[in-house]
């Protein structure tokens, strides 16, 4: 497994691009993206668990039910959520506009939207921009970068990756982008992620690979406890690597799953690090559990705790808040056996043993927690072999500033 350049366009047969179409008030940032495969793709998607779903989610879920797709169109600046029948019509018009420009069936187009909820989408601006958007498509990093910029909202960092692996002597590549900084909470988040691969893989196996990867990545991220109306992860596989098609749960499938999981974990960590107003990435690993679900539940509770997040912002080794979060998580564990460590580039410090306080250096703990990336290591010490890692960020004054006037 090797990380490479190129992003979405690293796999063979994919082009991408982005333009400003006028959904955003200012033209200093693109707001409309298009991703296209030269061939029909096997496709899979996962969507928000919020009962209130954006029009783009409803339309894309309908289109991807066939397991086939060839293009993705996505706008930023407007979520097209809580917009009624007009919103559904707008999402379908986006698909039709892209399909007409690419000479493909509208049912082969996935639609994404992100931005302010409850505002009608000016879809006519999307339709008018299609000639320029198609002209902007390219099969190099420039096209990838333009598409990535076009889906970003309050993001301050790029979330992109490409990997390549070998399957039966053939080079297979996976490229991906994501957006997300606020309204982030499992399952999935206010996040969009679009993934391309030139692997040849059966639809059912692509779907199962995506579900596994998402469960161990995006579904383990939390920034602020809010699950969005627009969450979406879509993967397109066009088979142009010409590997022997993956049609069963064999070594090649497991290798592909491992690569896809690594892609999603990379993006999930980037989303957590770019949490609105955040200054630190906080990773929590719970080990010594009887099963992975228990470890995940505990780790999610810890990184999702507002008090733990605030303590990380202040570089305060207030480990009692960690045990408190574990206690209300609903997971079964023995508090009397728990140990807690903080780790970063500045070192590592044990602050709790047997569920109780122990002497430790406050100066070392302060230094450890002052780094940009912090690991909270919790060992249940219950003879279990299962573990799980979840990701979050600190809670700062700027989070309130950003979200206090989001619409303006």
- CA angle 273–277–279, rounded 5-degree value: 50
Q: What is the pLDDT along the chain (408 residues), one digit of tens a residue?
A: 999 999 999 999 999 999 999 999 888 899 999 999 999 999 999 998 888 899 999 999 999 999 999 999 999 999 999 999 999 999 999 999 999 999 999 999 999 999 888 999 999 999 999 999 999 999 999 999 999 999 998 788 899 999 999 998 999 999 999 997 654 445 444 579 999 999 999 999 999 999 999 999 998 987 655 556 788 999 999 999 999 999 999 999 999 999 999 999 999 989 888 877 778 999 999 999 999 999 999 999 999 999 999 999 999 999 999 999 999 999 999 999 999 999 999 999 999 999 999 999 999 999 999 999 999 999 999 878 999 999 998 888 876 776 666 554
The CA-based diameter of the chain, rounded to the nearest angstrom, is 69
Residues 23, 184: contact at Cβ < 8 Å?
Answer: no
In whole angstroms, give the CA distance from residue 164 to residue 256. 10
Closest of 54, 76, 73 to residue 236, by C-alpha: 73
Model's pTM, two decimal places? 0.88
Return the exposure string of 45-65: e unless at least 16 CB atoms fall within 10 Å of the residue's CB, then b: bbbbebeebbbbbbbbeebbe
The pair of structure tokens assigned to 173 is 């590549």
Which distant-in-sequence residues (6+ apart) come within 8 Å of 259 by Cβ?
A: 1, 163, 165, 172, 174
According to CATH, the topology of domain 281-404 is Ubiquitin-like (UB roll) (3.10.20)
Query: Which pLDDT belongs to residue 383?
Result: 76
Per-residue tokens: 343: 């780790």
Nearest residue to 378 (alpha-carbon basis) of 302, 272, 312, 293: 302
Q: Where are the domains of the chain?
A: 2-273, 281-404
Q: Specify the pLDDT at position 225.
A: 52
Q: Enumerate helices (H) and strands (E) in the chain, giving the number of each.
A: 11, 15
Q: Which secondary-structure segment (H or E) carries 9?
A: none
Is 297 one of the catalytic residues? no
Residue 184 has a pLDDT of 47
Helix (H) or strand (E) holding 30: none
- Strands 232-237 and 192-197, sheet pairing: parallel
Helix (H, G, I), strand (E, B) or coil at 261: helix
Give the per-residue pLDDT at 401. 73
Cβ atoms of 118 and 83 closer than 8 Å: yes
pLDDT of the residue at 367:
98
Residue 175: phi and psi, rounded to 5, are -125, 150
CATH architecture of 2-273: 4-Layer Sandwich (3.60)
- Classified as helix, coil or strand, 63 is helix
Q: Is 6 left (phi over 0), alpha (psi -120 to 50) or beta?
A: left
**Judging by DSSP bridges, how do beta strands 32-47 and 232-237 pair with one another?**
antiparallel
Spatial distance between the Cα atoms of 154 and 281, rounded to a whole number of angstroms: 17
Cα distance between residue 203 and residue 99, in whole Å = 22
Choose the catalytic residue: 83, 153, 190, 294.
190
pLDDT of residue 189: 44
- Tell me the C-alpha to C-alpha distance, in Å, between residue 214 and each of 46, 174, 328: 8, 15, 25
The 10 Å Cβ neighbour count of residue 127 is 18
Rounded to a whole number of angstroms, the distance between the first and last alpha carbons of the chain is: 44
Contact 60, 112 (CB under 8 A): yes
């Amino acid at each position: 497994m090797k990380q490479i350049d190129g992003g979405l366009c690293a796999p063979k047969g994919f082009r991408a691009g982005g333009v400003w179409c006028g959904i955003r008030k200012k033209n200093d940032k693109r707001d409309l993206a298009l991703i296209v495969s030269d061939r029909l793709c096997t496709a899979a998607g996962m969507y928000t668990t919020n009962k209130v779903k954006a029009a783009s989610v409803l339309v894309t879920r309908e289109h991807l039910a066939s397991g086939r797709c060839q293009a993705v169109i996505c706008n930023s600046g407007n979520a097209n959520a809580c917009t009624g029948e007009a919103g559904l019509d707008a999402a379908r018009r986006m698909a039709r506009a892209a399909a007409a420009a690419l000479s493909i069936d509208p049912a082969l187009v996935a639609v994404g939207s992100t931005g302010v909820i409850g505002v009608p989408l000016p879809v006519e601006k999307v339709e008018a921009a299609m000639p320029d958007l198609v002209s902007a498509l390219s099969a190099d990093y420039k096209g990838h970068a333009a598409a990535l910029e076009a889906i970003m909202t309050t993001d301050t960092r790029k979330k992109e990756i490409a990997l390549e692996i070998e399957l039966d002597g053939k080079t297979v590549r996976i490229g991906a982008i994501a957006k997300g900084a606020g309204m982030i909470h499992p399952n999935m988040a206010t996040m969009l992620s679009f993934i391309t691969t030139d692997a040849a893989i059966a639809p059912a196996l692509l779907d199962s690979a995506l579900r596994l990867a998402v469960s161990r990545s995006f579904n383990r991220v939390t920034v602020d406890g809010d699950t969005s109306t627009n969450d979406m992860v879509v993967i397109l596989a066009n088979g142009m690597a010409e590997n022997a098609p993956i049609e069963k749960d064999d070594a090649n499938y497991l290798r592909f799953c491992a690569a896809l999981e690594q892609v999603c974990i990379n993006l999930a960590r980037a989303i957590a690090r770019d949490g609105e107003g955040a200054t630190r990435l906080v990773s929590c690993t719970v080990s010594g559990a009887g099963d992975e679900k228990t470890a995940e539940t505990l780790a999610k509770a810890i990184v999702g705790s507002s008090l733990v997040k605030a303590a990380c912002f202040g570089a305060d080794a207030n480990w009692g808040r960690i045990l408190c979060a574990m206690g209300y998580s609903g997971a079964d564990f023995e508090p009397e056996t728990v140990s807690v460590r903080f780790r970063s580039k500045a070192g590592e410090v044990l602050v709790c043993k047997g569920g109780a306080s122990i002497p430790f250096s406050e100066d070392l703990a302060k230094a450890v927690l002052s780094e940009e990336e912090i690991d909270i290591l919790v060992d249940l010490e219950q003879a279990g072999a299962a573990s799980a890692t979840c990701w979050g960020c600190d809670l700062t004054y700027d989070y309130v500033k950003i979200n206090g006037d989001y619409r303006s």
